[in-house]
Structure 1
């Protein structure tokens, strides 16, 4: 029954997406309607759409899994994501809307008068978008696999097809309606099961087991999909079918001593009730007190990774192209500012619930710490805590919210990439160029998915945020607030910060596994690269101050003065 309700939730989301997209298909006739919905979206509707677009696989699946594994250390993701919009409100939204540009690349060329900078910005937009699309596709594959047993590619195909239909036909006008409604779908889908499960936990005694390392509450059979190296916290006796520590086991009792062991692929292990949960390396083994303490306990070099991750999310949010493009749809700069002021409240309301799932997952789905399949936390909890038809219905609701997250975020990313590419290819981009860009934006990351491996959604999203923090964020802040920025300075900072952050992301995905300081630096380099990018842009601009655009004063006046004030 759980499979049927999950498929029903998926069908409901796809049907809703199709219906909402039809309105945009009837009205799109111009490039302005396709890229910025004719700049006529109201603040409340746009805030709902932005929140729906930003709450991606990382927020819906990844946050709960990170809290399950690392505890309070991982609260930097919801805190940083919400706080990033405060910086966006203060420094970027209204001036960027007053520039009149369609995309960030348009803004860069208008502000600096350089086609070369425009091309570099286009490259940054593409890499940010592709890094951000990877977790949407992978999250869809995980969701279908966990709930229905379908192969991972089926989830990718569903999200690609839905995004292609909505974006190609209606562009920004279609996805505005889709994203605004899907935010509330996601909120209901995550909140209703969370409240129900929390009530059941309280009826079950409400014991947080705060002093214990996670343990199995009942006899539990765990199937390991891929070869794992695990840390066993205490001596445990198990029954195994498959390969453990290189030896074949056929259902006999096996004593796992405290320490490190290997479990082969397609191996089944039965743990008795009360046994401590082995943790897939490199997940930390923590008791409840350590798990509940922030900063410095969950990962190696905890202070560095914690502060660098927070900085990456804060600054990265300011430069996300698919979020910034939404502010071009507002009627004016003041409307863009009101939109940005509403978004933190909507995000804060949503982020209360994934934290609850992470806490409950530590009690009811601890085997995910063994398999490392952390993104499945929110998907498995309803069936685990509420067996029977009620649990199946809650599972269907969660599945609907998950696919709403994948589709709404993917649509926004594809519009941002395709709009930027089409505007770069032609000074007056047409609808055909935009649609070709849509196909390219969706197709480019697909060959990488089989090679990505078991990366969590939040891990992949932080790579996109890091590239944004080290490239587009410095460009926007200095371009909006400092008249002395020059094209050579912007190009140097973009190439250095953006290039190194992209290289770190690629190395992390395809050249690992990494340990120690190399792992920390590749995972969270923003604390080094973002200030370096700011510094290089400023230093090179000062050295080339004679190349500052002659219209810089006029450009800044347009960015900061009210729209109805004449500029001479």
Structure 2
């Protein structure tokens, strides 16, 4: 075993140990602790926790990899991820908290009082959670295989075991604390290598790698990409729509607003969160540009073939060894690998909590025991699916999940909060059309193409958000407006509850 592998395994072990310590028994004692941390999480901590669970494998490894492989296309991902939370701040955070619901299906029941809509929402939310967990497990496999020399199954199994311990023993309360700390671990794990790599690239005149000759100018010029400009624009716009609107339907993110004390705290949480995300996303973008300079404009697999890499998702894992030698390379690689593992753990734990909460409420009477049974199912299914699927590019795979949630959940959530005329019938058919069209298009596109990034007509299938999200909104509105069903009789009361500030609601006479 090499020195790099030993340091990587030590860093991963340290991250797992810290996570287990933060998730130790004793933090959660009640059902409220397990589901929503007793609704007492302050904004600054909740913001760190949301950033911890939202900055997944796609953010930590995938953004830099896409910049390496596809140039400016990769730059849209951090823009879309961050802009999605701006929409949440403006339209969703405070009303969702005021709803008082535990889960997205609970919100749907509050809004429509429809058992059919609840069942449909449960199916979509659980499917979205499972689909999102799979890339995290693939990322763990990639990271430990590329840098630690471990077999491919070790990373996913380690993530599953650590996450299950934290979720089963402490639920939402323990997960919140762990995720808040993991955000700062991830930020440090990218910030320190970025500083040292930039110093190395900018101030050393004699570098052993010939690829660095004219690196800055060549690397920046390479970001422009090539090919059909209209095709690249439409593909980028589709991804931007998917990432922005998909955030409105992420179950593990939306459930976070139920842990705030009130709607004002929910808004403050998002305000803090935007700053944390912008701070973080500067780093993978910079590392992606540097990776582009180091390995040129060839495809990721070819660029990394001589460095022991597996795909362009290993770009920032391999970057320290391309710039440094010896101990410096080993330590920086281990730091990045440890931060990547923190990303896999935090995102997976948030997804498992949200999925297990839905399963518990729907099938296991909403008890702590049911929550734990739901957690076992929430991680078992993605483990099986992950072992049977190929390792698609992480950012591309996660963008596919965002497309699914943007089409299936975003119209119902946004219109459910802001439009009194929404009917259960319109919500049902909008959700069904959005889910089926987005999922079918992307599966067909992958079958016909070679991956989640395509040019030409196939991009309408692989990146269908540009048409399937408006389609889902249109079906929802048209069926609600012209269908046989009327808006729920209690819609006015629900809308008042969602949009009445807590201070006004407490005034005498209300």
Closer, same or farther in 2 for the Cα pair 1:379/1:121, shift >3 Å?
Answer: same
1:479 corresponding residue in structure 2: 416
2:104 corresponding residue in structure 1: 104
Are 2:129 and 2:352, in contact at CA under 8 Å, matched by a contact in 1?
yes
1:7 corresponding residue in structure 2: 9
1:218-229 equivalences under 5 Å are: none
Aligned-pair RMSD on alpha carbons? 2.2
1:269 corresponding residue in structure 2: none
**Take 2:231 and 2:448, find their aligned partners in 1: how far apart are those partners?**
21
- Greater gyration radius: 1
State the Cα distance separating 1:448 from its structure 2 match. Answer: 2.4
1:381 corresponding residue in structure 2: 319
**Take 2:152 and 2:369, find their aligned partners in 1: how far apart are those partners?**
31
Are 1:35 and 1:419, in contact at CA under 8 Å, matched by a contact in 2?
yes
1:40-189 equivalences under 5 Å are: 40-189=40-189
Going by fraction, where is helix more abundant, 1 or 2? Answer: 2
Greater mean alpha carbon deviation, residues 521-530 or residues 183-192: 521-530
1:439 to 376, 392, 402: 376
Are 1:48 and 1:179, in contact at CA under 8 Å, matched by a contact in 2?
yes
Going by fraction, where is strand more abundant, 1 or 2? Answer: 1
Deviations 1:223-282 (A, max 9, x none): xxxxxxxxxxxxxxxxxxxxxxxxxxxxxxxxxxxxxxxxxxxxxxxxxx99xxxxxxxx
State the Cα distance separating 1:359 from its structure 2 match. Answer: 1.6
Equivalent position SS for 1:475: helix
Is 1:302 equivalent to 2:239 in the alignment? no
- TM-score w.r.t. length of structure 1: 0.82
Closer, same or farther in 2 for the Cα pair 1:20/1:543, shift >3 Å?
Answer: same
1:160-309 equivalences under 5 Å are: 160-205=160-205, 217=210, 291-293=222-224, 297=227, 301-309=231-239
Closer, same or farther in 2 for the Cα pair 1:123/1:546, shift >3 Å?
Answer: closer
Deviations 1:108-150 (A, max 9, x none): 0110111111111111111211221111100100111111221
Are 2:220 and 2:293, in contact at CA under 8 Å, matched by a contact in 1?
no
Closer, same or farther in 2 for the Cα pair 1:39/1:395, shift >3 Å?
Answer: same
1:244 corresponding residue in structure 2: none
2:471 to 532, 543, 548: 532
Closer, same or farther in 2 for the Cα pair 1:452/1:147, shift >3 Å?
Answer: same
State the Cα distance separating 1:545 from its structure 2 match. Answer: 6.6
Structure 1 residues not aligned, in runs of 5+: 208-215, 219-272, 275-286
State the Cα distance separating 1:512 from its structure 2 match. Answer: 4.5
1:252 corresponding residue in structure 2: none
Equivalent position SS for 2:26: helix
- The aligned length equals 490
Closer, same or farther in 2 for the Cα pair 1:44/1:516, shift >3 Å?
Answer: closer
1:359 corresponding residue in structure 2: 289
State the Cα distance separating 1:290 from its structure 2 match. Answer: 5.8
State the Cα distance separating 1:472 from its structure 2 match. Answer: 1.2
State the Cα distance separating 1:523 from its structure 2 match. Answer: 1.9
State the Cα distance separating 1:334 from its structure 2 match. Answer: 0.5
State the Cα distance separating 1:423 from its structure 2 match. Answer: 1.0
Are 2:65 and 2:312, in contact at CA under 8 Å, matched by a contact in 1?
yes
State the Cα distance separating 1:292 from its structure 2 match. Answer: 2.6
Closer, same or farther in 2 for the Cα pair 1:560/1:179, shift >3 Å?
Answer: same
1:245 corresponding residue in structure 2: none
**Take 2:289 and 2:177, find their aligned partners in 1: how far apart are those partners?**
34
**Take 2:455 and 2:345, find their aligned partners in 1: how far apart are those partners?**
36
Are 1:56 and 1:406, in contact at CA under 8 Å, matched by a contact in 2?
yes
**Take 2:444 and 2:383, find their aligned partners in 1: how far apart are those partners?**
18
Are 2:219 and 2:292, in contact at CA under 8 Å, matched by a contact in 1?
no
1:415 to 353, 356, 359: 353
**Take 1:537 and 1:189, find their aligned partners in 2: how far apart are those partners?**
44
State the Cα distance separating 1:502 from its structure 2 match. Answer: 2.1
Greater mean alpha carbon deviation, residues 119-128 or residues 319-328: 119-128
Closer, same or farther in 2 for the Cα pair 1:369/1:290, shift >3 Å?
Answer: farther
**Take 2:485 and 2:444, find their aligned partners in 1: how far apart are those partners?**
38
Closer, same or farther in 2 for the Cα pair 1:104/1:32, shift >3 Å?
Answer: same
Equivalent position SS for 1:414: helix
Equivalent position SS for 1:138: helix
State the Cα distance separating 1:506 from its structure 2 match. Answer: 3.5
Equivalent position SS for 2:153: helix
1:425 corresponding residue in structure 2: 363
Are 1:62 and 1:456, in contact at CA under 8 Å, matched by a contact in 2?
yes
State the Cα distance separating 1:414 from its structure 2 match. Answer: 0.5
Are 1:68 and 1:359, in contact at CA under 8 Å, matched by a contact in 2?
yes
Is 1:504 equivalent to 2:504 in the alignment? no
Structure 2 residues not aligned, in runs of 5+: none
**Take 1:522 and 1:541, find their aligned partners in 2: how far apart are those partners?**
27
1:28 corresponding residue in structure 2: 28
